[in-house]
Amino acid sequence: MELTVAITGASGTIYAHRTLQLMAQSGSVDTINLIMSETAATVAKVETGANLDVPTVEIINEWLGLPAGSKIVRLWRLDNFAAKPSSGSNKQAGMIIVPCSMGTLGAIASGAGTNLIHRAGDVCLKEGRKLVLVPRETPYNAIHLENMLKLSRAGATILPASPGFYHRPKTIEDLVEHLCFRILDQFDIPHSKKTQWTGDEINPAV
Protein backbone atom coordinates (compact mmCIF):
# COMPACT_ATOMS: atom_id res chain seq x y z
CA MET A 1 0.00 0.00 0.00
CA GLU A 2 1.18 3.51 -0.81
CA LEU A 3 -0.03 6.46 1.26
CA THR A 4 0.75 10.16 1.54
CA VAL A 5 1.15 11.67 5.00
CA ALA A 6 1.35 15.40 5.59
CA ILE A 7 2.41 17.13 8.80
CA THR A 8 1.29 20.74 9.24
CA GLY A 9 2.03 23.35 11.89
CA ALA A 10 -0.93 22.54 14.13
CA SER A 11 -0.18 21.30 17.63
CA GLY A 12 0.01 17.51 17.85
CA THR A 13 3.25 16.45 16.17
CA ILE A 14 3.23 13.44 18.49
CA TYR A 15 0.24 12.06 16.55
CA ALA A 16 2.14 12.29 13.27
CA HIS A 17 5.22 10.69 14.79
CA ARG A 18 3.39 7.67 16.17
CA THR A 19 1.15 7.25 13.12
CA LEU A 20 4.21 7.11 10.87
CA GLN A 21 5.91 4.61 13.15
CA LEU A 22 2.88 2.32 13.22
CA MET A 23 2.47 2.53 9.45
CA ALA A 24 6.11 1.63 8.90
CA GLN A 25 5.85 -1.31 11.32
CA SER A 26 2.53 -2.63 9.98
CA GLY A 27 3.91 -4.70 7.10
CA SER A 28 1.08 -3.49 4.87
CA VAL A 29 2.45 -0.07 3.91
CA ASP A 30 5.21 -0.14 1.30
CA THR A 31 5.65 3.56 0.61
CA ILE A 32 4.94 6.67 2.67
CA ASN A 33 5.06 9.94 0.73
CA LEU A 34 5.87 12.44 3.47
CA ILE A 35 5.25 16.19 3.12
CA MET A 36 5.92 18.74 5.87
CA SER A 37 4.69 22.31 6.00
CA GLU A 38 7.05 25.20 6.71
CA THR A 39 5.99 25.43 10.37
CA ALA A 40 5.77 21.71 11.09
CA ALA A 41 9.46 21.55 12.04
CA THR A 42 9.09 24.48 14.45
CA VAL A 43 6.15 22.82 16.22
CA ALA A 44 7.97 19.47 16.30
CA LYS A 45 10.93 21.09 18.05
CA VAL A 46 8.72 22.89 20.59
CA GLU A 47 6.57 19.84 21.39
CA THR A 48 9.01 16.94 21.10
CA GLY A 49 12.51 18.40 20.88
CA ALA A 50 13.01 16.92 17.41
CA ASN A 51 15.29 18.82 15.03
CA LEU A 52 13.60 18.62 11.62
CA ASP A 53 14.59 22.09 10.42
CA VAL A 54 16.36 20.69 7.36
CA PRO A 55 14.71 17.30 6.97
CA THR A 56 16.25 14.51 4.94
CA VAL A 57 15.20 10.89 4.60
CA GLU A 58 18.06 9.94 6.92
CA ILE A 59 16.90 12.39 9.59
CA ILE A 60 13.29 11.24 9.27
CA ASN A 61 14.33 7.59 9.57
CA GLU A 62 16.27 8.40 12.73
CA TRP A 63 13.32 10.37 14.13
CA LEU A 64 11.00 7.42 13.55
CA GLY A 65 13.46 4.82 14.78
CA LEU A 66 13.66 3.15 11.37
CA PRO A 67 16.78 1.29 10.22
CA ALA A 68 19.41 3.38 8.46
CA GLY A 69 18.85 3.06 4.73
CA SER A 70 15.12 2.32 5.06
CA LYS A 71 13.33 3.38 1.88
CA ILE A 72 9.73 3.22 3.11
CA VAL A 73 9.58 7.00 3.58
CA ARG A 74 9.92 9.27 0.56
CA LEU A 75 10.29 12.93 1.45
CA TRP A 76 8.81 15.57 -0.88
CA ARG A 77 9.42 19.32 -0.79
CA LEU A 78 6.41 21.50 -0.05
CA ASP A 79 6.92 23.47 -3.27
CA ASN A 80 7.41 20.43 -5.51
CA PHE A 81 4.29 20.27 -7.65
CA ALA A 82 5.97 17.63 -9.80
CA ALA A 83 5.97 15.20 -6.85
CA LYS A 84 4.09 11.91 -7.14
CA PRO A 85 1.28 12.89 -4.70
CA SER A 86 0.36 15.83 -6.92
CA SER A 87 -0.85 13.62 -9.76
CA GLY A 88 -4.04 11.62 -9.92
CA SER A 89 -2.28 9.09 -12.13
CA ASN A 90 -0.17 8.03 -9.14
CA LYS A 91 -2.16 5.11 -7.79
CA GLN A 92 -2.17 5.27 -4.01
CA ALA A 93 -4.66 4.41 -1.27
CA GLY A 94 -5.09 7.97 -0.03
CA MET A 95 -3.72 10.64 2.25
CA ILE A 96 -3.57 11.51 5.95
CA ILE A 97 -2.99 15.05 7.19
CA VAL A 98 -1.97 14.75 10.84
CA PRO A 99 -2.19 17.12 12.55
CA CYS A 100 -4.21 19.29 10.18
CA SER A 101 -4.10 23.04 10.74
CA MET A 102 -7.15 25.18 10.09
CA GLY A 103 -5.20 27.01 7.38
CA THR A 104 -4.54 23.76 5.52
CA LEU A 105 -8.12 22.62 6.01
CA GLY A 106 -9.41 25.93 4.68
CA ALA A 107 -7.12 25.89 1.65
CA ILE A 108 -8.27 22.41 0.61
CA ALA A 109 -11.92 23.29 1.25
CA SER A 110 -11.63 26.36 -1.00
CA GLY A 111 -9.86 24.53 -3.82
CA ALA A 112 -7.28 27.33 -3.90
CA GLY A 113 -4.24 25.41 -2.72
CA THR A 114 -0.78 26.95 -2.86
CA ASN A 115 1.51 24.06 -1.89
CA LEU A 116 1.96 20.30 -2.32
CA ILE A 117 -0.09 19.42 0.77
CA HIS A 118 -3.09 21.34 -0.58
CA ARG A 119 -2.64 19.88 -4.06
CA ALA A 120 -2.26 16.30 -2.81
CA GLY A 121 -5.42 16.64 -0.72
CA ASP A 122 -7.31 18.06 -3.69
CA VAL A 123 -6.11 15.17 -5.86
CA CYS A 124 -7.48 12.61 -3.38
CA LEU A 125 -10.88 14.29 -3.47
CA LYS A 126 -11.04 14.53 -7.25
CA GLU A 127 -9.93 10.92 -7.68
CA GLY A 128 -12.35 9.61 -5.06
CA ARG A 129 -9.55 8.39 -2.79
CA LYS A 130 -9.68 8.50 0.97
CA LEU A 131 -8.54 11.77 2.53
CA VAL A 132 -8.29 11.73 6.33
CA LEU A 133 -7.94 15.07 8.09
CA VAL A 134 -6.95 15.12 11.77
CA PRO A 135 -7.67 18.65 13.04
CA ARG A 136 -6.20 19.67 16.38
CA GLU A 137 -7.79 22.95 17.35
CA THR A 138 -10.12 24.16 20.08
CA PRO A 139 -12.54 25.78 20.15
CA TYR A 140 -13.75 25.69 16.55
CA ASN A 141 -15.24 28.83 15.08
CA ALA A 142 -18.03 28.86 12.50
CA ILE A 143 -15.55 29.07 9.60
CA HIS A 144 -13.69 25.98 10.83
CA LEU A 145 -16.93 24.04 11.17
CA GLU A 146 -18.23 25.13 7.78
CA ASN A 147 -14.96 24.11 6.12
CA MET A 148 -15.08 20.70 7.81
CA LEU A 149 -18.67 20.18 6.68
CA LYS A 150 -17.74 21.23 3.15
CA LEU A 151 -14.88 18.75 3.05
CA SER A 152 -16.97 15.98 4.57
CA ARG A 153 -19.57 16.49 1.85
CA ALA A 154 -16.77 16.37 -0.74
CA GLY A 155 -15.72 12.94 0.54
CA ALA A 156 -13.07 13.63 3.17
CA THR A 157 -13.06 11.98 6.59
CA ILE A 158 -12.80 14.41 9.49
CA LEU A 159 -11.10 12.60 12.37
CA PRO A 160 -10.50 15.12 15.18
CA ALA A 161 -7.67 14.52 17.62
CA SER A 162 -10.13 13.44 20.33
CA PRO A 163 -8.83 10.32 22.09
CA GLY A 164 -11.22 8.13 24.04
CA PHE A 165 -10.88 7.00 27.63
CA TYR A 166 -12.82 3.73 27.74
CA HIS A 167 -9.56 1.77 27.49
CA ARG A 168 -8.44 3.41 30.77
CA PRO A 169 -5.25 5.05 29.54
CA LYS A 170 -2.43 5.35 32.05
CA THR A 171 0.04 7.39 30.01
CA ILE A 172 0.07 10.07 27.33
CA GLU A 173 1.34 7.38 24.96
CA ASP A 174 -1.83 5.35 25.63
CA LEU A 175 -3.96 8.34 24.64
CA VAL A 176 -1.89 9.03 21.53
CA GLU A 177 -2.01 5.43 20.34
CA HIS A 178 -5.77 5.26 20.74
CA LEU A 179 -6.15 8.04 18.20
CA CYS A 180 -3.45 6.70 15.89
CA PHE A 181 -5.15 3.31 15.82
CA ARG A 182 -8.35 5.03 14.71
CA ILE A 183 -6.42 6.72 11.90
CA LEU A 184 -4.97 3.39 10.76
CA ASP A 185 -8.45 1.84 10.83
CA GLN A 186 -9.47 4.18 8.00
CA PHE A 187 -7.13 2.23 5.70
CA ASP A 188 -7.47 -1.20 7.36
CA ILE A 189 -3.83 -1.07 8.45
CA PRO A 190 -3.21 -3.75 11.11
CA HIS A 191 -2.29 -2.67 14.62
CA SER A 192 -2.63 -3.63 18.26
CA LYS A 193 -6.23 -4.20 19.39
CA LYS A 194 -5.57 -3.17 22.98
CA THR A 195 -7.77 -0.06 22.77
CA GLN A 196 -10.56 -1.68 20.74
CA TRP A 197 -13.96 -1.60 22.39
CA THR A 198 -15.32 -5.10 22.94
CA GLY A 199 -18.55 -4.32 24.76
CA ASP A 200 -19.97 -5.84 27.91
CA GLU A 201 -21.63 -9.20 27.59
CA ILE A 202 -24.60 -9.57 29.87
CA ASN A 203 -25.91 -13.05 30.46
CA PRO A 204 -29.68 -13.03 30.82
CA ALA A 205 -31.12 -14.45 34.01
CA VAL A 206 -32.21 -18.05 33.71
Domains observed in the chain: 2-185 (3.40.50.1950)
- pLDDT bin (cut points 50, 70, 90) of residue 14 is very high
User: Is the full-model pTM beyond 0.85?
Assistant: yes
User: Which amino acid, one-letter code, is at 157?
Assistant: T
- pLDDT tens per residue across span 55-81: 999 999 999 999 989 999 999 999 999
Torsion of CA 46, 52, 54, 57, to 10 degrees: -170
pLDDT cut 70: percent of the chain above it: 97
CA distance 47 to 41: 10
Write down the pLDDT at residue 193.
76
- pLDDT tens per residue across span 154-191: 999 999 999 889 889 999 999 999 999 999 999 999 88
- pLDDT tens per residue across span 120-157: 999 999 999 999 999 999 999 999 999 999 999 999 99
Write down the pLDDT at residue 191.
87
Its sign, for the CA torsion 26, 50, 95, 146, is: positive
Count Cβ neighbours within 10 Å for each residue of 68-96 and write b for 16 or more, e otherwise. eeeebbbbbebeeeebbbbeeeeebbbbb
Burial class for 21, CB neighbours closer than 10 Å (0-12, 13-18, 19+)? middle
> Does 206 score more than 60 pLDDT?
no
> Does 205 score more than 70 pLDDT?
no
Task: Using alpha carbons, list the distances in angstroms from residue 30 to 20, 175, 188.
Answer: 12, 26, 14
Q: Which of 140, 134, 124, 177 shows the shortest CA–CA distance to 158?
A: 134
| Rg of the chain over all Cα atoms, to the nearest angstrom | 17
Its sign, for the CA torsion 144, 149, 154, 158, is: positive
Residue 161 DSSP class: S
Write down the pLDDT at residue 195.
75
